[in-house]
Amino acid sequence: MKLLSDTSESIPLVFLITDGSVEDEREICNVVKGCLTSGGSVSPRIFTFGIGLYCNHYFLQMLAQIGRGHYDCTYNADNIELRMERLFTTASSVVLADITMNIPENLDSLELFPSRIPDLSFGSPLIMSGRYKGDFPDTIKVKGRLADMSTFIMDLKVQNAKDMSFDR
């Protein structure tokens, strides 16, 4: 991880593919989280893929979330190629990476999920949810890194849940 975390020309990708259980899952997640948060300006993305019933799928999901990558799996050996192609397509179609939002500091009890914003990939929505106390602005500034490693900044209109129409 340390070798990959000091690059500035591209975002490194790591793939973990397994058909069995992994020992010390919690320790692995803690070490990876530590490496990624204390690494260089561009941290590697971790993509995980589980095959069969004997994988710890929860661990693979958590590792992908920590590594701002994606997780996929299959329980059927006939679907491995199709599902892995889908994972590789997602990994190679990142539109915006290292996304940050300028959220005002006057908000109390701000909680966002996921806490580390994942990358935006073509064909995959980026959904953030959260709760707060205070006055949230009508727009926020979103900043990220494009594929050519240039900076992209955009003002984004905030949608409150109470203003959304839901079919009931």
Q: Which residues contact 131 (CB under 8 A, 6 or more apart)?
A: 109, 110, 111
Across the beta sheet with 13-18, the strand order is 13-18, 45-51, 71-74
Instruction: List the beta bridge partners of residue 139.
Output: 157
Summarised one tens digit per residue, pLDDT across range 70-86 is 999 999 999 999 999 99
Q: How many domains does the chain have?
A: 2
137: pLDDT confidence band, cut at 50, 70 and 90? confident
Answer whether residue 9 shows pLDDT above 80: no
Q: How high is the pLDDT of residue 41?
A: 62
Answer whether residue 135 shows pLDDT above 90: no
> Which domain does 117 fall in, by range?
96-163
Angle between the 57-66 and 25-37 helix axes, to the nearest 10 degrees? 10
Last residue in a domain, options 92, 110, 130: 92
Last residue in a domain, options 74, 92, 110: 92
Q: How high is the pLDDT of residue 114?
A: 82
